[in-house]
């Protein structure tokens, strides 16, 4: 299937420090792609570069055939690339105001309808619409983060560590939320350390030291030896004796 | 008793006006985390604008309002792009902003001496019509009522902008979390430039009425007004433009009570209020913790 998001030869970094060294990555239309990697591998840097929050040093970025390499963040979001940062919400703004910000680029007439759609999708948020985002539980906050990015009807949602700082119960909630988003026809690119996300994904990349060191379908990656050692440490030990 | 009523009502008018004096400084601080030390100097320029429109063309200060709003917005936008993005790329933007805007304040003041001379200027309060207005048995100059009304309208417009317009909502998002606003795709620079322009235009708007509420217009008036504005926004909560209304009212009431009962001490008022609030409630009266600024 054609890649809706296509990044080639991405190099980027902060100041004098180069973090990414020629990263190639694609997100097929309608799929869910996980970007695995330890802390400091460059996952956040990659997402921020794709969004144009960090300047690209070399490489190219295309979304749905449109070249986004040189355009500012605002244009990328308008083109359908949404980003959910690790924080994901504005803690000092209400739930409704957060959703407004997510729908910032929608035509004025569509905002109300889109917001009702989000409240249908996430009834918890409807109940909490006047609350400050900062007062929500960790799981609800991620839910709001997803709803906020969905407001703009993105084609691809890039998420930075949706499970960070969440207890396993909330991680499950987040995964359910993402299933919902996926059913909306959204393509997902999820940067994670938690391999649980690979279970729910179609395809995966492993990023280490700013380079892609492994990739493949979620099934293949799960049985890949390097990945098993790095991310399924526990599972590797209890591996059935097939060799 | 009569005296107290008078002081309280006068304090209300002064308070509404002083909220306008401070609101631009607070808006700019809220969005950019920068203290515009040239705030009072822009107010001074606004005052000279009104003076010359009146003196040379015979225009009522009310006609200066639309003109100055447009002119100062147009000054603020390029000034933002010239100064702020570069400042924010530096290692310590907050500290450097003090130096930069203090320098800007000095430059504006020196240029004002050069262009306008050191002579004190004023606009006669009679431009708004002669007869004083009787409110609740007390008599007040029309110019006070007009200044207070403009102050209230100015704060109201900024409130409407922040809470009911698209760029205003984006402004609040930037105030709440700058990096998250960028991640949402809001063009942080454009929205901040607007806020900067509005902040400076609000200062100029307050300047138009300064001859009636603050005193004679002169090039050196800026720094004192910056200090008063700073006291007002600290009282009302830094970074919360609407909180400026509360800060302004407290300052106005305190000023009028001091002038009525302790006139010789009233010059100290902004400093006393500033110290009091910092001792009692450093985050301002409206509960909103100042982020690591």
B46-86 pLDDT per residue, tens: 999 999 999 999 899 999 999 999 999 999 999 999 999 88
Report yes or no on B287 lying in a domain. no
Is the pLDDT confidence value at A1 over 80? Answer: no
Nearest to B224 by CA among B269, B279, B278, B275: B269
Report yes or no on B208 lying in a domain. yes
Asked if A77 lies within 8 A of B181 by C-beta distance, the reply is no
Angle between helices B142-164 and B166-176 (to 10 degrees): 80
d(CA B224, CA B119): 18
Domain holding B243: CATH number?
A: 1.10.3470
| Angle, vertex CA A122, rays to CA A121 and CA A127, nearest 5 | 130
Structure tokens at A154: 């993105």
Report yes or no on B236 lying in a domain. yes
A35-79 pLDDT per residue, tens: 998 888 899 999 999 999 888 999 999 999 899 999 988 889 989
d(CA B251, CA B269): 8
**Domains of chain A, each with CATH number or no CATH:** 3-94+152-237 (3.40.50.300)
Task: Write out the residue range of the structural domain in which residue B19 sits.
Answer: 2-117+135-280
Asked if A97 lies within 8 A of B169 by C-beta distance, the reply is yes
Report yes or no on B206 lying in a domain. yes
Per the structure, how many domains does chain B have?
Answer: 1
Nearest to B283 by CA among B211, B235, B223, B215: B235
Asked if A87 lies within 8 A of B169 by C-beta distance, the reply is no
Would an 8 Å CB–CB cutoff place A105 in contact with chain B? yes
Beta strands across the sheet bearing A187-192: A81-84, A156-160, A187-192, A32-36, A203-208, A211-217
Residue A232 binned pLDDT confidence (cut-offs 50, 70, 90): low
Would an 8 Å CB–CB cutoff place A14 in contact with chain B? no
User: Which of A52, A79, A92 to mutate to probe the B interface, most B CBs <10 Å?
Assistant: A92
User: Which of B180, B289, B291 to mutate to probe the A interface, most A CBs <10 Å?
Assistant: B180
Residue bearing the bigger pLDDT, A138 or B130: A138
User: Which of A50, A90, A103 to mutate to probe the B interface, most B CBs <10 Å?
Assistant: A90
**Bridge partner residues of A216 (DSSP):** A204
pLDDT given at position A121: 85
| B chain contacts of residue A51, beta-carbon cutoff 8 Å | 183, 185
Report yes or no on B124 lying in a domain. no
DSSP track, A50-88: HHTSS--SEEEEEETTEE-TTS-HHHHHHHTEEEE-SS-
Q: Identify which of B166, B177, B182 has the shortest CB distance to residue A104.
A: B166
d(CA A205, CA A166): 23
* Least Cα separation, residue B278 to chain A (angstroms): 23
Q: What is the largest CA-CA distance in chain B?
A: 58
| Angle, vertex CA A45, rays to CA A43 and CA A51, nearest 5 | 110
d(CA A107, CA A149): 15
Asked if B186 lies within 8 A of A104 by C-beta distance, the reply is yes
Asked if B184 lies within 8 A of A97 by C-beta distance, the reply is no
For A44, nearest residue in chain B (alpha carbons):
B183
Is the pLDDT confidence value at A243 over 50? Answer: no
A197-229 pLDDT per residue, tens: 888 889 999 999 999 988 988 888 888 777 776
A98-116 pLDDT per residue, tens: 999 999 888 888 999 999 9
Structure tokens at B292: 């690591």
Report yes or no on B12 lying in a domain. yes
Please report, in tens digits, the pLDDT of each residue of chain B (293 residues total). Answer: 588 888 999 999 999 999 999 999 999 999 998 899 999 999 999 999 999 999 999 899 999 999 999 999 999 999 999 999 888 888 788 888 999 999 999 999 999 999 998 899 998 888 887 778 888 778 888 999 999 999 999 999 999 999 989 899 999 999 988 888 988 888 899 999 999 999 999 999 999 999 999 999 999 999 999 999 999 998 887 878 888 999 999 999 989 888 888 878 777 887 888 888 888 877 777 655 444 33
């Amino acid at each position: 299937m054609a890649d809706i998001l296509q990044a080639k030869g991405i190099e980027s970094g902060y100041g004098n420090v180069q973090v990414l060294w020629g990263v190639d990555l694609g997100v097929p239309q309608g799929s869910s792609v996980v970007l695995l990697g330890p802390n400091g591998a460059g996952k956040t840097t990659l997402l921020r570069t794709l969004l144009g929050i960090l300047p690209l040093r070399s490489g190219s970025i295309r979304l749905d055939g449109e070249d986004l390499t040189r355009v500012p963040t605002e244009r990328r979001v308008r083109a359908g690339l949404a980003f959910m940062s690790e924080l994901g919400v504005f803690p000092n703004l209400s739930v409704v105001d957060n959703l407004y910000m997510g729908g910032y680029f929608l035509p004025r007439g569509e905002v109300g309808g889109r917001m009702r759609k989000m409240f249908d999708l996430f009834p918890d948020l409807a109940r909490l619409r006047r609350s400050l985002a900062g007062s929500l539980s960790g799981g609800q906050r991620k839910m709001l983060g997803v709803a906020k990015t969905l407001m703009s009807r993105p084609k691809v949602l890039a998420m930075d560590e949706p499970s960070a700082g969440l207890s396993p119960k909330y991680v499950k909630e987040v995964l359910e939320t993402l299933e919902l988003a996926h059913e909306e026809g959204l393509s997902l690119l999820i940067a994670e350390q938690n391999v649980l996300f690979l279970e729910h994904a179609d395809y995966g990349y492993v990023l280490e030291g700013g380079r892609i060191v492994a990739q493949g379908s979620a099934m293949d990656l799960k049985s890949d030896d390097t990945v098993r050692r790095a991310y399924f440490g526990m599972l590797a030990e209890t591996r059935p004796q097939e060799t | 008793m009569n005296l107290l009523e008078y002081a309280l009502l006068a304090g209300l008018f002064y308070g509404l006006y002083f909220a306008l004096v401070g609101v631009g400084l607070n808006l700019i601080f809220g969005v950019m985390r920068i203290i515009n030390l040239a705030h009072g100097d822009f107010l001074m320029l606004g005052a000279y604008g009104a003076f010359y429109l009146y003196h040379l063309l015979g225009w009522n200060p009310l006609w200066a309002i639309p003109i100055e709003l447009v002119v100062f917005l147009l000054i603020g936008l390029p000034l933002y792009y010239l100064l702020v993005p570069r400042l924010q790329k530096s290692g310590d933007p907050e500290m450097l902003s003090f130096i930069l805007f203090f320098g800007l304040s000095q430059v504006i003041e020196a240029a004002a001496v050069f262009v306008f001379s050191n002579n004190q200027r004023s606009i006669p309060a009679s431009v708004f019509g002669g007869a004083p207005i009787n409110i609740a048995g007390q008599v007040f100059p029309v110019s006070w009522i007009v200044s207070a009304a403009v102050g209230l309208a100015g704060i109201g417009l900024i409130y409407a902008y922040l809470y009911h317009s698209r760029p205003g909502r984006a402004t609040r998002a930037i105030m709440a979390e700058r990096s998250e606003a960028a991640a949402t795709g809001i063009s942080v620079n454009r929205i901040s430039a607007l806020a900067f322009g509005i902040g400076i235009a609000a200062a100029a708007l307050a300047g138009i009425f300064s001859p009636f509420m603050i005193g004679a217009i002169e090039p050196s008036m800026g720094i004192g007004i910056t200090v008063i504005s700073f006291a007002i926004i600290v009282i009302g909560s830094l970074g919360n433009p609407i909180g400026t209304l509360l800060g302004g009212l407290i300052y106005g009431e305190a000023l009028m009570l001091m002038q009525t009962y302790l006139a010789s001490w009233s010059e100290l008022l902004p400093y006393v209020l500033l110290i009091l609030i910092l001792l009692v409630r450093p985050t301002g009266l409206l509960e909103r913790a100042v982020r690591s600024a």
